[in-house]
A and B are shown apart, each in its own frame.
Chain A
Amino acid sequence: MLVQYLPFLILFIVAVAFSGGAILLSRLLGPKRPNPVKLAPYESGMVPIGGTRRPFHIRYYLVAMLFILFDIEIIFLYPWAVIYLTARAARLFLLLEMIVFLGVLMIGYIYIWRKGALDWE
């Protein structure tokens, strides 16, 4: 059974080898002539002040949270879509089932929308 995933493994190995190899080769073969100007974060411009780790605004959190909820909703659609074609007699039932599921989430969506959680300001 696992054999059918062999192409994935090969792809994975090729991807890692390709990206890793590119970095390694340029490291080994490329010329290295550093000087202070070249090593500066910005060759021309302001010298950065302070750390780069700035706190994110809480808005991002809200959007990410809602994204996850709808992401979980989506995964239920995959098996549904796969069996919809084969389940001939029960198609109407399957359709109603999914309409109820999405209907409940749609109420959540309307709620989110009307509450302005999708507005940036």
Chain B
Amino acid sequence: MTIPVSAADWIVINTELILVGTAMIVLLLDAFNRRISDRISPWITLVGVVGGLVSLGFLWGQEYTGFAGMLVIDSFSVLVKMAILFGTGLAVLLSVDYLRREELAQGEYYGLLLLSTVGMLLLTSSANLIMIFLSLEMLSIALYVLTGYARMRPRSQEAGMKYFLLGSFSAAILVYGVALIYGALGTVDLAGVAEALTAPGILSNPVLLAGAGLVLVGLGFKVAAVPFQMWTPDVYEGAPSPVTAFMSVSTKAAAFAALTRVLVFAFSDLSGVWMAVIWAIAALTMIFGNLVAIAQNNIKRMLAYSSIAHAGYILVAVASANQLGIQSIPFYLIAYTFMNIGAWAVVTVITRKGEEGVGLSDYTGLFWRNPLLAVSMGLFMFSLAGIPPTAGFTAKIYLFMAAVNANLIGLLIVAVVTTIISAYFYLRVTVIMFMHRPSEVSAVHVPIAAYVAIIIAVVATLWLFLFPNSTQAFTEAVWRMGL
């Protein structure tokens, strides 16, 4: 037996190690002294997240494979990991005062949040189907618990239970797919899969096709693509708002990274088959998400359907499977992280104890109650709708260009039309906030940490529009990544 760990392996997982270490500290602190842990664990968590971001900075522009090809560090994974860590950091800022308001314990929450983040980071780098399954389970189990974290609130319990049942079912489907792929090709390494697919006659192997299809179902569940989106509105509505903010951006980022790696890099020889499937899923997801979002009067449900719709847009990039498409995925994910967490931050602040006040009517005349909050929310709505001057606009432009380059004109038309439809419900929120002056004006109390989160999100949303080139160097490098 040879010793399988080398120096490069430590470099590959250093971000994950920092966050696992932080999670251990938070959990032990919580175990030994609740009082101190309640006060400082969010800040320890933030230090860990910032440390993770710094370590990603050192990894920038480098390429490593670790653990015999199980994990890959390249520009693509570094960028997506940044999106995930931004999501985690902002979610922590939202959680501090939220947990206090809802009278929930602090320590375990951050421990689970960090461990879930580690699962996402691992999923982003995974180049092995077993690692993909394991890291998916890691992030999911922690999220099931976090979804049901407000266990005295029946909606939260129900959401946790639903997410758990459907999530484990989808994980079982995924792992069955992995088994079939292994049966057909004799390997679970993505690089090995790509190599095995070059063998003559293998592409029509029914076991391989069934396996790839099941893996697609498992990952499609995590990104909430139609027809695997059923759980999304209930779970997003029932979960504590900061948890929803976190999982709507970070889980999506990690799952899309895995989906891209599996489809575009491992199964590229099979693209003749999956291209049509992704095309259909993308179109259905965009249409369904945007149309159903129109009918929502509950802001959390509306944002849940909006999140489904955005999964559809990113799937357009996956379907184009060209250089521009792959480059636009990390950009879209980062832009989406800031604008969506920003929107959820405002929702978190507006809701009252026990997740009350989530109707659209609660936003009536927000401008007169707290102008800064209303302007930020308006900006996030513009960005989600893809209206300039916001990051969402730039991200959509990249996507549409990718679709044009890949000659996906039909899909492009669907994307443009649904974007126009989506403007209706995003702008409705803005109109409600600005146009209707309320009869009595009561100020909204906004905790400082939440203000910081909202301001960071606003700045980033504008920054990515004004200086998309600052990330261009990043995205240029993405295409060069190999498996």
A–B contact (CB under 8 angstroms)? yes
| A residues apposed to B, CB below 8 Å | 83, 86-87, 89-90, 93, 104, 107-108, 110-111, 113-115
Expressed in whole angstroms, the Cα–Cα distance for A83 and B1 within the complex equals 9
In the complex, B5 has a CB within 8 A of chain A: yes
A111-B28 in contact (CB<8A): yes
Contact partner of A111 among B1, B5, B31, CB < 8 A?
B31
A86 to B1, CA, bound (A): 9
Interface residues of B in 23-47 (CB under 8 A from A): 24, 27-28, 30-32
Measured CB to CB, the nearest residue on chain A to B25 is: A107
* B2 contacts A90, C-beta separation under 8 Å: yes
Q: Nearest chain A CB to B22's CB is how many angstroms away? A: 12
Contact B32 A114 (CB under 8 A): yes
In whole angstroms, how far apart are the Cα atoms of A107 and B28 in the complex?
Answer: 7
Chain A residue with the shortest CB-CB distance to B5 = A93
Q: B27 near A111 (CB under 8 angstroms)?
A: yes
Measured CA separation A56–B1 after assembly (Å):
48
Range for the number of chain B residues in contact with chain A = 10 to 19
- Are B1 and A110 interface neighbours, CB within 8 A? no
Contact A110 B3 (CB under 8 A): no
Q: Determine how close the nearest CB of chain B comes to the CB of A119; give it in whole angstroms.
A: 14
Residues of B within 8 A of A104 (CB): 24
Residues of A within 8 A of B27 (CB): 107-108, 111
Q: Is the interface of B mostly helix, strand, loop or mixed?
A: helix
Residues of B within 8 A of A87 (CB): 1
Interface bits B1-28 vs A (CB < 8 Å: 1, else 0): 1110100000000000000000010011
- Closest residue of chain B to A107, judged by CB? B24
Cα-based distance from A114 to B28 in the complex (angstroms): 9
Residue among B1, B30, B32 facing the most chain A CB atoms (10 A cut-off): B1
* Inter-chain contacts of B28 with A (CB < 8 A): 107, 110-111
Name the A residues within 8 Å of B3 (CB-CB): 89-90, 93
Q: What's the count of A-B pairs with C-beta under 8 Å? A: 26
Whether B32 pairs with A89 at a CB distance below 8 angstroms is no
The 7 closest A-B CB pairs, nearest first, are A114-B31, A87-B1, A111-B31, A90-B1, A93-B3, A90-B3, A107-B24
The DSSP consensus for interface residues of chain A is helix
CA distance A107 to B24 in the complex (A): 7
Chain B residues in 8 Å Cβ range of A93:
3, 5
User: Of all chain A residues, which has the CB nearest B24?
Assistant: A107
User: In the assembled complex, how far is the CB of residue B20 from the closest CB belonging to chain A, in whole angstroms?
Assistant: 8
Query: Can you list 26 A-B pairs, Cβ within 8 angstroms, ordered by A?
Result: A83-B1, A86-B1, A87-B1, A89-B1, A89-B2, A89-B3, A90-B1, A90-B2, A90-B3, A93-B3, A93-B5, A104-B24, A107-B24, A107-B27, A107-B28, A108-B27, A110-B28, A110-B31, A111-B27, A111-B28, A111-B30, A111-B31, A113-B31, A114-B31, A114-B32, A115-B31
Interface bits B352-366 vs A (CB < 8 Å: 1, else 0):
000000000000000
- Of the candidates B5, B28, B30, B31, the one having the most CB atoms from chain A within 10 angstroms of its own CB is B31
Q: Within 8 Å CB of B30, what residues of A? A: 111
Minimum CB distance partner of A94 in chain B = B1
CA distance A87 to B32 in the complex (A): 39
The distance in angstroms between the C-alpha atoms of A116 and B32, with both chains bound, is 11
Known: A89-B3, A93-B5, A111-B31. 16 other contacts (CB 8 A): A83-B1, A86-B1, A87-B1, A89-B2, A90-B2, A90-B3, A93-B3, A107-B24, A108-B27, A110-B28, A110-B31, A111-B27, A111-B28, A114-B31, A114-B32, A115-B31
B1 surroundings in chain A (CB, below 8 A) = 83, 86-87, 89-90
A89: chain B residues within 8 A (beta carbon): 1-3
Minimum Cβ distance to chain A for residue B351 (Å): 29
Please, which residues of chain B bring their CB within 8 A of the CB of A110? Answer: 28, 31
B259 → chain A closest CB, angstroms: 29
**Which of A83, A89, A104, A107 has the most CB atoms of chain B within a 10 A radius of its CB?**
A107
